[in-house]
Chain A
Amino acid sequence: MAMNADEIERRIKVALPDAVVTIKDLAGDGDHYSALVMSEAFRGKSRLQQHQMVYAALKGSMGGELHALALQTVTPDSAPTTAH
């Protein structure tokens, strides 16, 4: 029940067209990813709301097809120092 990284990126970009998405397959098993998502749409939102927006884009995949996604969300002017 794995999902590939391209599919994750595609789904996020459907909901957040301006998003810059960086995905890493953490365990090489297609089941544990980290995603760094940068979008203007996050501006003014709380971290909780930002993560909700990404989860909403992945509609029901989290915890099912997609077991684990370590998520980091940023706005374009607050790029992080590391993408874990």
Chain B
Amino acid sequence: MTTAENILTVIDNEVKGNDVVLFMKGSPEMPLCGFSGQVAQVLDFLGVPYKGINVLESDALRNGIKDYSNWPTIPQLYIKGEFVGGCDIVREMFQAGELQTLLKGKGIELRERA
């Protein structure tokens, strides 16, 4: 049994317990939505270790994450407990170099490819 309150606790624990967390449709290896796939691709490109959480595995999770962040869409990227944004924001930040700066500023190792 998963109540609305305890799914928020589960989400909170994931967000706070992992440096980089991506709530997505599908898995990092097999994204099931183009938007989720784009964010996974950016993180993979930067060589950022992250935890991918598939919201399609649970309706409670899929709805709970939207309440948790007050953000209506998936994917959602969190870095060190902070909500960064969805696909468009992540892509724009990556293209501007801001995502790399944010990650480095929070002490997260990048293995950026040439």
Contacts and interface: CB of A to CB of B under 8 A. Distances in A.
Residue among B70, B71, B73, B92 with the highest chain A CB neighbour number at 10 A = B73
Nearest to B35: A68
B89 A60 contact: no
Interface stretch (B1-9, B13-21, B79-87): B79-87
Given A63-B74, A70-B88, A48 B35 contact: no
Which secondary structure characterizes the binding site on chain B? mixed
B28 to A, nearest CB: 20
Which secondary structure characterizes the binding site on chain A? mixed
Interface string B26-45: 00000000010000000000
Interface of B: 35, 66, 70-74, 83-89, 92-93
